[in-house]
């Protein structure tokens, strides 16, 4: 009798390089693909309850819809259920006689608590859980140190990892899958009303095929990776940076896949500072995941992981927050970035650092509500990178320097010397 395995999709919305899927298919198991649409934790209330556009939700639904279509090719469909995983999954396990739940590990505080509740509810039942590590570039078992020994400074971590860099090979998409039949309602998403903006630097769709297409285009068709380090601080257009982050955040692309494509590019085209920098950025992504696993809920606290006696600002004035959100602070460089975020769900990495610094150090606002606002809007929201970067800018994260204040006038002069970006979004 073939084993029955539930494949619980979380932030891994793909079939390529998916170890859990690969293992289940290789074992000849009957697989039930499930996604739980559960409420997002509201860590901090946003002053004035600003309107949240639906760009992030739209990208997620597009990614789920394509995943459903991939499973239909295997004569099945993606089961999308609303509720709390700790309640929904045990019920489904009973109904479909599931032997084991396969899932990719998530290490943030909320996801870990959610999983703890699930395992507690499954305790004493015939169903167990098996965990995989399909999100980081480097498998945790391949690190040369234990989690408690993770350096508090990224540079120290990077040197340790680069001294013996090893990234596991990708898992091929299964050629055949034994799907477990189910009688749940088909996935028919209701997309939020959004207006496409021709100025958007991220005019892309969610889903695995779109992510694969973008990866191929950025490396092999446009050769844009060759100059990535020189262009990565750009502000206008689709190709100043890779834009892989949205597909990475939803798991439509794996970091391992990107790494190995970059290595192939280095072999077949060129290896330079730009190709190194792409992998450097993926190391940062891994580091933020590890930091949150190590420090847990501390990275959502006002003082973060800082042991300094000074505290970051904690203003929550509604009028000040609303001006920042609506791009009406009076600082054109900041306002342009915030208008772009509101109208597209995206802004560049350079803009994110500037608006975060302005929010904390110029406006004197609580960095956590800035991070919460980004969480609500960003198409490429990732809990680890978002909260890690905000804590970093606030001076309470993984950074030896306390003052991360940016000179906004200097930043504008350096990165928007002709004011083209400001004109694009404000005039």
What pLDDT sits at residue 367? 97
What pLDDT sits at residue 400? 59
Residue 105 structure tokens: 């590990």
Element (H, E) at 30: strand 30-37
Helix (H, G, I), strand (E, B) or coil at 69: helix
Query: What's the CATH superfamily of 301-426?
Result: DNA Cyclobutane Dipyrimidine Photolyase, subunit A, domain 3 (1.10.579.10)
CATH 1.10.579.10 spans which residues of the chain? 301-426
Query: Right CATH number for 4-134 from 3.40.50.970, 1.10.760.10, 3.40.640.10, 3.40.50.620?
Result: 3.40.50.620
User: What's the pTM value of the predicted model, to 2 decimals?
Assistant: 0.96
What pLDDT sits at residue 40? 75
- Note the CATH architecture for domain 208-295: Alpha Horseshoe (1.25)
Q: How far apart are CA 75 and CA 70, in angstroms?
A: 9
Sorted by sequence, the CB contacts under 8 Å of residue 414 that are 6+ apart come out as none
What pLDDT sits at residue 185? 94
CATH 3.40.50.620 spans which residues of the chain? 4-134
What pLDDT sits at residue 66? 98
Q: What is the 3-state secondary structure (H, E, C) of 96-125?
A: CCCCEEEEECCCCHHHHHHHHHHHHHHCCC
What pLDDT sits at residue 42? 73
- Mean pLDDT per block of 10 residues along the chain (427 residues) reads 95 98 97 93 87 97 98 97 96 98 92 90 96 96 96 95 97 96 94 96 98 98 98 97 98 98 98 98 98 93 83 93 98 98 98 97 97 97 96 86 84 98 98
Integer angstrom CA distances of residue 227 from 224, 231, 270: 6, 6, 11
What pLDDT sits at residue 409? 97
Q: How far apart are CA 353 and CA 395, in angstroms?
A: 12
- Determine the straight-line distance between the first and last CA of the chain, rounded to whole angstroms: 67
Q: How far apart are CA 343 and CA 245, in angstroms?
A: 18
What pLDDT sits at residue 401? 65
């Amino acid at each position: 009798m073939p084993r029955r395995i539930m494949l619980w999709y979380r932030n891994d919305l793909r079939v390529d390089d998916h170890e859990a899927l690969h293992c289940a298919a290789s074992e000849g198991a009957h697989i039930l693909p499930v996604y739980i649409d559960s409420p997002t934790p509201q860590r901090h209330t946003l002053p004035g309850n600003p309107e949240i556009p639906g760009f992030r939700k739209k990208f997620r639904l597009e990614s789920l819809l394509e995943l459903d279509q991939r499973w239909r090719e295997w004569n099945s469909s993606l089961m999308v259920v609303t509720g709390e995983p700790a309640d929904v999954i045990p019920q489904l396990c009973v109904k479909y006689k599931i032997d084991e739940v396969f899932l990719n590990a998530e290490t943030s505080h909320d996801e870990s608590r959610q999983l703890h509740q699930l395992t507690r509810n499954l305790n004493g039942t015939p169903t167990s859980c098996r965990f995989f590590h399909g999100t980081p570039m480097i498998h945790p078992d391949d690190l040369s140190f234990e989690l408690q020994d993770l350096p508090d400074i990224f540079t120290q971590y990077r040197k340790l990892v680069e001294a013996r860099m090893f990234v596991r090979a990708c898992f091929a998409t299964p050629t055949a899958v034994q799907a477990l039949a189910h009688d749940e309602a088909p996935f028919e998403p209701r997309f939020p009303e959004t207006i496409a903006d021709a100025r958007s630097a991220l005019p892309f769709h969610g889903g695995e095929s779109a992510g694969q297409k973008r990866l191929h285009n950025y490396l092999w068709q446009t050769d844009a990776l060759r100059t990535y380090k020189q262009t990565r601080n750009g502000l206008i257009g689709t190709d100043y940076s890779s834009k892989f982050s949205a597909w990475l955040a939803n798991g439509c692309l794996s970091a391992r896949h990107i790494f190995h494509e970059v290595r192939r590019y280095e072999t077949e085209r060129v290896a330079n500072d730009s190709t190194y920098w792409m992998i450097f950025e993926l190391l940062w992504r891994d580091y933020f995941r590890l930091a949150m696993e190590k420090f847990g809920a501390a990275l959502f606290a006002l003082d973060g992981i800082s042991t300094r006696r000074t505290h970051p600002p904690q203003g929550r004035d509604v009028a000040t927050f609303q001006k920042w959100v609506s791009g009406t602070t009076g600082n054109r460089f900041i306002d342009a970035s915030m208008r772009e975020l509101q109208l597209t769900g995206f802004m560049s990495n350079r803009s994110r650092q500037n608006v975060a610094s302005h929010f904390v150090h110029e406006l004197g606002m609580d960095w956590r509500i800035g991070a919460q606002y980004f969480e609500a809007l960003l198409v490429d929201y990732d809990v680890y990178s978002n909260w890690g970067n905000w804590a970093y800018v606030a001076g309470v994260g993984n950074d030896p320097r306390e003052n991360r204040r940016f000179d906004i006038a200097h930043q504008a002069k350096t990165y928007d010397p002709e004011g083209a970006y400001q004109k694009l979004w404000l005039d």
